[in-house]
Copies of this chain bind each other. A is one copy, B any other.
Amino acid sequence: MPSYKAPVRDMQFVLHEVLKIGEFDYPQFNELDQDLINGIVKEGARFSEQVLAPLNLSGDREGCTRNQDGTVSTPKGFRAAYASLIENGWTTLVHDSEYGGQNMPRVLGTAVNEMLASANTAFSTYQGLTGGAIEAISIGGTDEQKKIYLPKMVSGEWAGTMDLTEPHCGTDLGMLKTRAEPQADGSYQITGQKIFISGGDHDLTENIIHLVLARTPDAPQGVKGISLFIVPKLLESEGEGAGRINGVSCGAIEEKMGLHGSATCVMNYDAAQGYLLGEVNKGLNIMFVMMNVARVGVGMQSLAQSEVAYQNAALYAADRLQGRAITGPTNPEGPGDPIIVHPDVRRMLMESRTYNEGSRMLVYWASLQGDLEGTAERSQAERDCSSDLLGLITPVVKGYLSDIALKRTVDCQQVFGGHGYIEEWGMSQFVRDTRIAALYEGANGIQALDLVGRKLAMNSGRALMTLNAQLDVFIAENNDNEAIFDFVSAVESARGKLTDGTMWIMQNGAVDPNNVAAGSVDYMHMMGLLALAFMWGKMASVAQAQIDAGNEDEFYTNKLITGRYFIRRVLPLIDTHLALLKTGAEPVMALSDQAF
């Protein structure tokens, strides 16, 4: 059975030594001293390793069950684990203390969520999506709605869902058909079918609060006529009618490639009672706020799966004896050498390791921008800076990191040879569970279009200028540091290539917009590579300073070795993506539609 050990040391490095989150003293956050943070991380590690990880393989095998009465049961052990999750307050971490939260910054929540997702991604979806729903109600809800729903959702007693997709409409929400009929009492009757609803029904909580996109009778066509509704599974939380079942039911559970422990439901709304969240026809605004948080979460989940896959591959490579090192036996007494001696095995491990450490830094850094953009004590310019960086990097964190995570879990599976294909080793599950990350919360092609079509152009290109300014600061601060000269020049060179690509897009998009769309995924990968180079630069700078100060902890030398692997063996891909971007629309569009 696969195992998981939370990378606590690396998390501490990112949180304390690079991002220095313990130094914040913004009043919106609880007091963030280093010990408190470390205590939370260590407790999260223990919970993930001991409670969640042992349920991962069994949860995959058993999956969720829709019972004859239409209720949904989660795999064995999930209920007890969930009870323990809320008992220990894990659902409350980043939420507002007004509703029972702990007021911790989002970046710390991301660190904890990484561990939950490494240990058991399927399990982690239930509380992950509830977090999104809490966010939406916090933004769009009335005071009364907040009072009704938030305390029980923050405590984890109730769960939440996001209900967007319908059978005929996923990406193109303008096509959605679910109807919302206004009632005399100010509520709405919701009727329609939603698909792909994660946690649409389950047995972990007593109530589930669905946030449902639907159209009112007189709504304009397309995306401008979509409203958002709160549709609880059980109506009236208190008083006589408490617990009355609403007209919402799970019609089926989808059979998926992976994530079997997460119930993906077809949800039927049959004149279900719903309450408008926010304004009529403005539902997408709130949904997109949720989606952006969820997209950073998908990047986190991608990293989390690659991390646990790497750990198991590294253990196997140290354990499995097969063949001899090409430079001479390292285990002459044994029947063979451990396969970690073989350069190609080590290559696959290094690819994953450098991805994991770089991505952890990137995801935490992005989450921190989310904290900083909302910090009232900072100047508007400072907040805009964080907002720009977060907006620009969100599609990259979602799209690029999930694209690469799949390759990394596949590589880690490859380390096992034929055993990697056998379910009991668990490597197949990591690949299957990771595969969803490129598909949900907006397929990766949509992320790439969001990046090139929206984020680059917003505010006259301010976000990219903001990123460039950050890169300038990094380069200026480290330019004289000869020990990490290779990191600094890698960032500078990668930035030059991205600029080249951006210029190409600006010049050729005007000629034919398909030029931009055809190369959008290449551009997204370029920005992902630059972002990781930047993150590696920041980490290298901190690690080198420790070494220069005489710190002999091997953690720092290993950090530099792992970073240099990225610079030398991963970053060169940026050249290919630039070359492909510049081929433009012609090779992609030349074949007629009918010829496919």
* A contacts, CB < 8 Å to B: 165, 168-172, 175, 196, 254-258, 314, 317-318, 321-323, 326-327, 335-336, 338, 340-347, 349-350, 353, 406, 410, 413-414, 417-424, 428, 431-432, 435-436, 438-440, 443-445, 448-449, 512-514, 517-518, 520-521, 554, 558, 561-562, 564-565, 568-569, 572-573, 575-576, 579-580, 583, 585, 587-591, 593, 595-596
Contact = CB atoms under 8 A, between A and B. Distances in A.
Given A590-B561, A596-B314, A518 B347 contact: yes
B423 A256 contact: yes
Q: Which among A169, A326, A558, A580 has the highest number of chain B CB atoms within 10 Å?
A: A326
A413 B257 CA distance: 11
Contacts of A518: 343-344, 346-347
Given A323-B172, A344-B518, A443-B417, A428 B257 contact: yes
Given A314-B596, A343-B517, 14 more contacts: A171-B322, A171-B417, A175-B321, A256-B421, A256-B422, A257-B421, A318-B593, A342-B517, A344-B445, A347-B521, A414-B439, A421-B436, A421-B439, A575-B575
A379 to B, nearest CB: 38
A588 B343 contact: yes
Given A340-B593, A576-B572, A255 B422 contact: yes
A254 B419 CA distance: 10
Contacts of A436: 421
A327 B510 CA distance: 11
A121 to B, nearest CB: 13
A520 B449 CA distance: 36
Contacts of A580: 569, 572
A564 B175 CA distance: 37
28 contacts: A168-B335, A172-B322, A175-B322, A196-B418, A255-B424, A256-B421, A256-B423, A257-B421, A257-B428, A314-B596, A317-B596, A318-B593, A318-B596, A327-B513, A342-B517, A343-B518, A414-B444, A417-B439, A418-B440, A432-B432, A561-B590, A565-B588, A565-B590, A569-B580, A569-B587, A569-B588, A572-B579, A576-B576
